[in-house]
Each structure stands twice: as C-alpha cells, then as structure tokens.
C-alpha cells in the first residue's frame, strides 16, 4: 500500500473581512496563547468569512491531486495550510515528509539579491553538506537556464524568469510533497514543458497538489480532483469527473477542453520540438491515394500522413502519447481533433509512429492553418505547424467557410400541416 503523505481532517478556517477586526482578533488570540490558554472555535461573526469549511482528504505518494475552483474558493488558502503557513481553526493536517511549495511567484526570494544568492539561501534551508549544496546550486542554475542573469538582482527579473528560478529551486530539492499554485502559467512555453517533464519524472515518488485554471493541464497531469466552492469541498474523485462537474455546475462561463486546447496552443505561439525525445518527423496533407496535396475540393476528404521517430529512452515506453490538431482560419479558432477525445491509443512500434488520419471535413471554402501537437503525458514533445491547406469549389453557388447538410421537403412529404 502506498504511503499516505498528506491527511487533512475536517479542516476549517475563517478569516476577518477587515484589517481592524483582524488585528483585534489576532491580538486576542496571541494574548490567550501567550498565557497558555487554548483558543476556541467561535461562531462566524459578521466581520468574518469561512475560507475553508470542513475539508477532508488524503494524498498518497505518487498521487497528483488537482484543486479546482474559482478565485476565492480556498485553493491557495488550502495550500498555505498544508505548508504550515496558516494553522487550522478546527480540524488537523498530518504531513509526512519534506514539502516544497510553489505558492506564489517570487515567493521567498529577496528582491535585492541575485538569483544565485537566493538559490544559496534556499539551499541553506535544506541543511545539506557543502558538496551536496554546491552540486544542487549548479543543477538549479543549469535547469533554470537563466545564464548570466543568475547574477542579476531578482527585482529585475521578468515574471517568467522568476518562475524559472522558483520552479528549479523547488523541484530539484527532491521534495516528498510538492505544492504548485499556478506559477507555471507564466513563462515561456518551452520552459513550461521542461517543468512539466520534470514533474512527470519525479511524480511517482512525490505527492503533488496542483492548482491550475487550465483543465487541460489538470487532466493530463492529475489522477484525482477536488472541487472547492466557497471553501467547501463539493467533490473529490476522478479528475475527469471533477472537471466535468465543475464545468457543468459551477462555472458560469462554460468552456470545454477543446476550447482550452485552442487557448493553450495559440496560433501565435512558438513551435516546439523536444530533441531529447524526437529524432525526426514528417507530416503532409494528402489525398485518398496518399499523394501530397494542399488544395482540396470542398467536399473532398483530407488525409494527414504522420511519421515520427522517437528516441528510445530507458523507462519511457511512450504509453501515454496524445496527438491533437487545432485548426484556424486566419485568427479564428475553428475546431480541433484529438486522439484523447476518441480514446485512440497512439501506437509506437520500435520507436516509430506511422499514422494516417482521415478527416471528413465540413469546410467549404477558405484557407486553413493547423498545428500538430504530440504530448507524452502532460509534456509537449512536439508542436509544429502543418502546411496550410485550402478548400476551393468550382461551383460559384457555394459560399461561406462551412458546408451544411440540408434537405428540402414539400409540405406533404413530412405529413404535417405547413
């Protein structure tokens, strides 16, 4: 049985709504504690609100849990409790292991110190020996890819650079428990992929709690999901079910996974290739006979031929590959396809992917752009634009971007009065 690293039982926390009330309450609690008197959990007052309401759950080693909820739902407050920054007003939290928390951008960094000095300070907390500390410092600097900027004061870092520094410092210290709160939403795409790959690498040895507004990231990354609404846990279970429930019941502006693919894989985004995992690739649009083609008749099927040669890595059998293609017409996101949606496994034979995708489009006229994306678990390993393709029609009566199937009926044919 896996080791339970986090146990949260009936966690309840209330906060004051204003500073003055908070100062009075805090002072009262401090004076009580100073004289050794236990604090009592009183009823919620007019100037207070419940940030966390009777939350219970466990997380085991190797498990990744996604926290889902709107802003103010209590996700970050929960993480702060887990890292011991806040204490519960009621209930208890049992932590077994070394925690690293990426709770806020630049958390724990001194703005006037250089990145290097800040890392040293972070390493100093771990109480490692001199040799280990030096090696860790080197590894963190290397992973962060900050180059010469590592000796620049952190106050001059961009948010992306701060994310690099924070992530590298947290993950490379080999925690038992990793708390990640949206910090990966900033920074460039390539580094984000590198971080996700690193988390994927350490995932089996770590208990991870992940806060993200990106359902795609949560879905790819987490096994379990906890939905928080106004500090209450309304669901805990499979991540897909958690997202589904949240989107359908609690999210006012419903967005499905595909739309998010569009958001994540923006047409203006950069191409990406993980050279550690991919040797070569080839893809082209074809006709039925698999002959290269870029201009199609408006009712013609498209075929996409894909060949990817993957590097053989010890311990990675590429069992979790996901292939997706979003389509755009100019800047307008049109649609997408995904192997994940149709639950189609991407087969890798001797390190090679040979695949043909047949698409029966409803595109009518116009030029379309698309982008081939391959994930290995949560990590992007390839994102390349496909050659543009065009739908044309000799029939002048065909107009518009899409084709619809339609039929005409005489009134009598339907057996109804018109």
CB 51 within 8 A of CB 74: yes
Q: CA 2 to CA 60: how far, in whole Å?
A: 6
**Cα angle value 337/339/342 (rounded, 5°):** 90
Minimum CB–partner distance for residue 45 and another protein (Å)? 17
Tokens describing residue 406: 């339609």
Residue in 214, 262, 264, 255 with CA at minimum distance from that of residue 66: 214
Minimum CB–partner distance for residue 102 and another protein (Å)? 10
Q: CA 278 to CA 321: how far, in whole Å?
A: 13
Residue 121 or 236 with smaller CB distance to another protein = 121
Minimum CB–partner distance for residue 90 and another protein (Å)? 7
Footprint of another protein (CB under 8 A): 22-24, 26-27, 29-30, 33-34, 36, 38-39, 41, 81, 83-99, 101, 103-104, 107-108, 110, 112-113, 117, 120-121, 123-125, 127, 133, 153, 176
Tokens describing residue 131: 């040799």
Report how far apart, in Å, the C-alpha atoms of 12 and of each of 52, 54, 255, 307, 311 are.
5, 5, 31, 53, 49
Residue 110 or 390 with smaller CB distance to another protein = 110
**Residues with Cβ < 8 Å from 215, sequence gap 6 or more?**
68, 243, 247, 255, 257, 260
Residue 26 or 269 with smaller CB distance to another protein = 26
Residue 150 or 372 with smaller CB distance to another protein = 150
Q: CA 122 to CA 140: how far, in whole Å?
A: 11
Residue 43 or 360 with smaller CB distance to another protein = 43
CB 17 within 8 A of CB 47: yes
Residue 89 or 376 with smaller CB distance to another protein = 89
Minimum CB–partner distance for residue 30 and another protein (Å)? 5
Residue in 60, 11, 7, 103 with CA at minimum distance from that of residue 223: 60
Minimum CB–partner distance for residue 173 and another protein (Å)? 12
Minimum CB–partner distance for residue 101 and another protein (Å)? 8
Minimum CB–partner distance for residue 202 and another protein (Å)? 17
Residue 81 or 277 with smaller CB distance to another protein = 81
Minimum CB–partner distance for residue 85 and another protein (Å)? 5
Within 13 A of 197's CA, how many CA atoms are on the CB side? 17
Residue 28 or 354 with smaller CB distance to another protein = 28
Tokens describing residue 10: 């009936």
């Amino acid at each position: 049985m896996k080791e339970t690293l986090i146990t949260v039982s009936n966690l309840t926390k209330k906060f004051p709504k204003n500073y003055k009330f908070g100062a009075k309450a805090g002072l009262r609690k401090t004076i009580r504690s100073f004289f050794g008197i236990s604090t009592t959990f009183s009823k919620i007052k007019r100037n207070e609100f419940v940030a966390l309401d009777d939350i219970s759950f466990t997380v085991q080693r190797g498990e990744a849990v996604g926290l889902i909820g709107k802003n103010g739902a209590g996700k970050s407050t929960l993480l702060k409790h887990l890292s011991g920054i806040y204490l519960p007003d009621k209930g208890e939290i049992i932590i077994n292991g070394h925690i690293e928390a990426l709770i806020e951008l630049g958390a724990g960094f001194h703005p006037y110190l250089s990145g290097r000095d800040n890392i040293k300070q972070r390493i100093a907390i771990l109480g490692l020996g001199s040799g280990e500390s030096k090696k860790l410092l080197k590894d963190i600097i290397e992973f962060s890819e900050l180059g010469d900027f590592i000796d620049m004061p952190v106050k001059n870092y961009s948010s992306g650079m701060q994310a690099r520094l924070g992530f590298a410092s947290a993950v490379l210290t080999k925690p038992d428990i990793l708390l990640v709160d949206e910090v990966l939403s900033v920074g460039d795409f390539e580094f984000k992929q590198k971080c996700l790959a690193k988390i994927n690498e350490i995932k089996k040895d770590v208990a991870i709690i992940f806060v993200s507004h990106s359902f795609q990231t949560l879905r790819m990354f987490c096994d379990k999901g906890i939905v928080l609404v106004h500090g209450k846990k309304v669901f805990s279970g499979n991540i897909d079910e958690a997202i589904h429930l949240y989107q359908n019941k609690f999210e006012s502006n419903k967005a499905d996974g595909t739309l998010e693919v569009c958001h994540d894989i923006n047409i203006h985004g950069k191409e990406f290739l993980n050279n550690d995992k991919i040797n070569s690739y080839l893809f082209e649009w074809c006709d039925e006979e698999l002959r290269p083609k870029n201009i199609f008749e408006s009712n013609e099927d498209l075929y996409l031929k894909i060949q990817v040669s993957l590097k053989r890595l010890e311990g990675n059998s590429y069992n979790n590959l996901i292939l997706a293609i979003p389509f755009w017409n100019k800047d307008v996101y049109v649609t997408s396809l995904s192997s994940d949606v149709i639950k189609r496994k991407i087969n890798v034979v001797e390190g090679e992917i040979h695949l043909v995708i047949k698409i029966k489009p409803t595109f009518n006229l116009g030029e379309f752009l698309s982008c081939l994306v391959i994930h290995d678990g949560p990590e992007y390993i390839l994102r390349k634009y496909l050659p543009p393709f065009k739908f044309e029609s000799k029939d002048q009566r065909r107009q518009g971007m899409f084709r619809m199937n339609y039929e005409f009926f005489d009134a009598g044919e339907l057996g109804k009065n018109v």
